[in-house]
A = this chain, B = another copy of it.
């Protein structure tokens, strides 16, 4: 799939002369949306954009704004054209903008402006991490988004024109209470919610649209997303997570991303990498609760840090394990 990236991009580049620049840019923006789930596919990006608009029209615009600004900034600064064409400069901007909308309020003018500034800045953070991590041939994943979003969310209560509430959300992490047994209703909501929460969206039908988008780009990736979602639910239930969190997709969105990353996207598919992906998805589920507890003390959020950290470790480790091969 990583080769698919450059292949599709390459194919399009070959025909670039025949296309007008605006259409070219629109394709790159759509691929940027799709790259949130590793797919360098404009068709997948259409599904993702529709899913965001279905969840709320503002979210749809935030997503397009963020992807377009991050992609545009990369073009203006002269970033490698292959990266831009594959959508790799857009997906963190998409998440930054949608994340700000969800956590700071989509209605405020301040949020629109901050989302724009964040999407421009994320291009610099992406380049910095890319320079550093390429030493070990590791991608940046969604780390640039996680960094920008964490900084802004943690800083926000200190700025009166950004924070439209009179309380800071910082609190000591609590102890899980309440129901842990899952109903069938919980399970299928969780299964689709795990896909939707990658974009912060809890609705089952939004998650379904995202999942269809993944399948439209790659059946393997769709299958791994389903496997990751199932592992997330199973591990959360086994360890005793509150059923409400599981049903909203809050326990499994990182396992979906990890499973896709570790089998197909960055590591070649074989029996070992399937098992590796399952282990990684389980680790990401524990880390989701761990990062949630850690960040709650200073008003942060887990975002996709659990996916980023798990995938960084599991991908970095590959050269030590001859049974696994990088794509």
Interface residues of A (CB under 8 A from B): 77-80, 117, 120-121, 124-128, 130-132, 135-136, 150-152, 154-155, 157-163, 165-168, 170-177, 180, 238-242, 279, 282-283, 286-287, 289-290, 292-294, 296-300, 312-314, 316-317, 319-324
Contact = CB atoms under 8 A, between A and B. Distances in A.
A124 B80 contact: no
Contacts of A300: 294
Contacts of A136: 131-132, 135
B176 A163 contact: yes
Contacts of A80: 320
Nearest to A155: B290
A317 B158 contact: no
A157 B239 CA distance: 11
A175 B168 contact: yes
Nearest to A288: B155
Given A131-B320, A317-B127, A298 B293 contact: yes
**Which of A283, A314, A320: most chain B CB closer than 10 A?**
A320
A325 to B, nearest CB: 12
Contact of A171 (B172, B240, B322): B172
A317 B78 contact: no
Contacts of A282: 117
B290 A241 contact: no
For this chain, the copies found in one complex come to 3
A166 B175 contact: yes
Contacts of A162: 239-240
Contact of A322 (B78, B121, B160): B78
A286 B127 contact: no
A293 B161 contact: no
**Which of A79, A160, A286, A312: most chain B CB closer than 10 A?**
A286
Contacts of A174: 157, 168
B239 A159 contact: yes
**Which of A150, A159, A177: most chain B CB closer than 10 A?**
A159
Nearest to A157: B175
Contacts of A150: 290
Contacts of A241: 158-160
Contacts of A135: 135-136
A128 B317 contact: yes
A170 B168 contact: no
Contact of A120 (B151, B171, B279, B299): B279
Q: 3 tightest A-B contacts by CB?
A: A160-B240, A161-B240, A155-B290
Contacts of A293: 154-155, 157-158, 168, 170, 298-299
